[in-house]
């Protein structure tokens, strides 16, 4: 039986050298080392051998099978390499073509607008100051001239926590207090900052309102800061953000933390002020609110309002992104729909 096994191995190796494609290799494997192959049949026939010869025969058969399997793997690699070489020679694969690039993710549209904000305000001398999302009621409202039972609190539906007096901030304005107290050096240093961040309001989700959204607050405090400084700064921002010929108008409004207060409109950049469905045929788009910092807020921030003055503004990146690209539903920003996000 050893001679039979040796003859099978020699025959198998010779046949393996002749196998030149994948189909021939599969047939060879089935014939010699498969479940019904020649080597397997030898192993099954050991039952007729004397008991003392079975271990030696079994070892020899297993070793022969291992050698044939190794030879099969080696030959399979050779056949694959030869097939590739033939394809290259025939021009089936053009190795001069660039490889397939991996698909990369893109920046979220809100992130793009935020980065543009940082660039513009940074060029104008503003530094970025970040404040916390979880805020104290006293800082979010009272320090901003919105005491308990003030009607303005009804305008901002608030997320309250189980800890009394701890809330999710409803606007980025409380960052003004933190910035003045931290950067103002006890009311002795001027500051010029923007305060970007996420805000939270317990509101019904609609095409125009979300429970979370970005805001970018701006704050300037110094000596002899006037309304003309505010108007000039906002106008310059609008020209850089939208177009160099952008027209800006200011409308009287009310915010508890600024006095006087204004809404800011920019001439519709989609219709050049002629009127369209985006600007509701008025020719103007509202982009922000602003005003001179209320003396109460200055005092709560550590400044003496008789010596210091300032202005503040607040704008929403999502709103401006919606205006620039004609987006009609704010829910797209947080829906994670790739059909929307991949357009940016």
- Give the whole-angstrom CA distance, residue 106 versus residue 157: 33
Say if residue 127's pLDDT is above 80. yes
Mind listing the pLDDT tens digit for each residue in 41-72? 777 777 777 777 777 777 888 888 888 888 88
- CATH assignment at residue 233: 3.30.930.10
> Is 231 within the bounds of a domain?
yes
Stated pTM of the model: 0.67
Mind listing the pLDDT tens digit for each residue in 249-287? 999 999 999 999 999 999 887 777 788 776 778 888 888
- Pair (151, 75) in one structural domain: no
How much of the chain exceeds pLDDT 90, in percent? Answer: 45
pLDDT of residue 68: 85
> Is 100 within the bounds of a domain?
no
> Is 102 within the bounds of a domain?
no
- Give the whole-angstrom CA distance, residue 284 versus residue 206: 23
> Is 148 within the bounds of a domain?
yes
Residue 105, token pair as written in the block: 């993710």
Boundaries of domain holding 231: 109-341
Q: Which residue among 63, 90, 117 closes a domain?
A: 90
> Is 18 within the bounds of a domain?
yes
- Pair (141, 232) in one structural domain: yes
CA dist list (Å): 98 to 87, 94, 101, 273: 18, 9, 8, 48
List Cβ neighbours of 225 (8 Å cut-off, separation of 6 or more). Answer: 292, 308, 309, 310, 311
- Pair (290, 330) in one structural domain: yes
Cα of 110 vs its chain's centroid, Å: 9
Q: Which residue among 30, 56, 90 closes a domain?
A: 90
Cα–Cα nearest to 246, from 259, 237, 254, 255: 237
- Pair (199, 65) in one structural domain: no
pLDDT category of residue 92 using cuts at 50, 70 and 90: low
List Cβ neighbours of 57 (8 Å cut-off, separation of 6 or more). Answer: 1, 2, 5, 46, 49
- Pair (163, 252) in one structural domain: yes
- Pair (130, 191) in one structural domain: yes
- Pair (117, 262) in one structural domain: yes
- Pair (226, 291) in one structural domain: yes
> Is 312 within the bounds of a domain?
yes
- Pair (329, 197) in one structural domain: yes
Say if residue 135's pLDDT is above 90. yes
> Is 261 within the bounds of a domain?
yes
Compute the half-sphere exposure of residue 301: CA atoms within 13 Å on the CB side of its CA: 37
Number of Cβ within 10 Å of residue 336's Cβ equals 9
> Is 104 within the bounds of a domain?
no
**For the chain, what is the domain count?**
2
Q: Which residue among 46, 62, 90 closes a domain?
A: 90
Q: Any idea which of 27-41, 128-142, 287-301, 311-325 has the lowest mean pLDDT?
A: 27-41
Residue 36, token pair as written in the block: 């019904």
- Pair (48, 144) in one structural domain: no
- Give the whole-angstrom CA distance, residue 225 versus residue 227: 7
Cα–Cα nearest to 29, from 95, 76, 63, 77: 76
- Give the whole-angstrom CA distance, residue 299 versus residue 82: 83
- Pair (80, 120) in one structural domain: no
- Pair (162, 120) in one structural domain: yes
């Amino acid at each position: 039986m050893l001679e039979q096994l040796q003859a099978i191995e020699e025959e198998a190796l010779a046949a393996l050298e002749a196998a030149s494609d994948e189909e021939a290799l599969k047939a060879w494997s089935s014939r010699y080392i498969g479940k019904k192959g020649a080597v397997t049949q030898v192993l099954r026939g050991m039952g007729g051998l004397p008991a003392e010869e079975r271990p030696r025969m079994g070892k020899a058969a297993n070793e022969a099978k291992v050698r044939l399997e190794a030879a099969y793997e080696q030959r399979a690699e050779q056949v694959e390499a030869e097939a590739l070489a033939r394809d290259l020679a025939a021009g089936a694969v053009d190795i001069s073509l660039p490889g397939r690039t991996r698909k990369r993710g893109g920046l979220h549209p809100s992130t793009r607008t935020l980065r543009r904000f940082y660039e513009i305000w940074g060029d104008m001398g503003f530094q970025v100051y970040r404040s916390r999302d979880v805020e104290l009621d006293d800082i979010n409202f009272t320090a901003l001239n919105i005491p308990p039972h003030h009607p303005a609190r009804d305008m901002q539906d608030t997320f309250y926590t189980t800890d009394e007096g701890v809330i999710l901030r409803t606007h980025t304005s409380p960052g003004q207090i933190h910035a003045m107290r931290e950067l103002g050096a006890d009311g002795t240093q001027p500051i010029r900052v923007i305060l970007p961040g996420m805000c939270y309001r317990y509101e019904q989700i609609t095409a125009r309102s979300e429970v979370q959204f970005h805001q970018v607050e701006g704050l300037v405090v110094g000596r002899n800061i006037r309304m003309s400084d505010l108007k000039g700064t906002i106008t310059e921002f609008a020209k850089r953000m939208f177009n160099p010929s952008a027209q800006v108008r200011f409308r009287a409004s009310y915010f508890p933390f600024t006095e006087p207060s204004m809404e800011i409109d920019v001439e519709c950049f989609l219709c050049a002020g002629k009127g369209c469905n985006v600007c509701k045929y008025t020719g103007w788009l509202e982009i922000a609110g602003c005003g001179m910092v209320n003396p109460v807020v200055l005092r709560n921030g550590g400044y003496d309002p008789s010596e210091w003055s300032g202005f503040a503004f607040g704008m929403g990146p999502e709103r401006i992104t919606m205006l620039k690209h004609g987006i009609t539903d704010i829910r797209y920003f947080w829906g994670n729909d790739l059909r929307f996000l991949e357009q940016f």
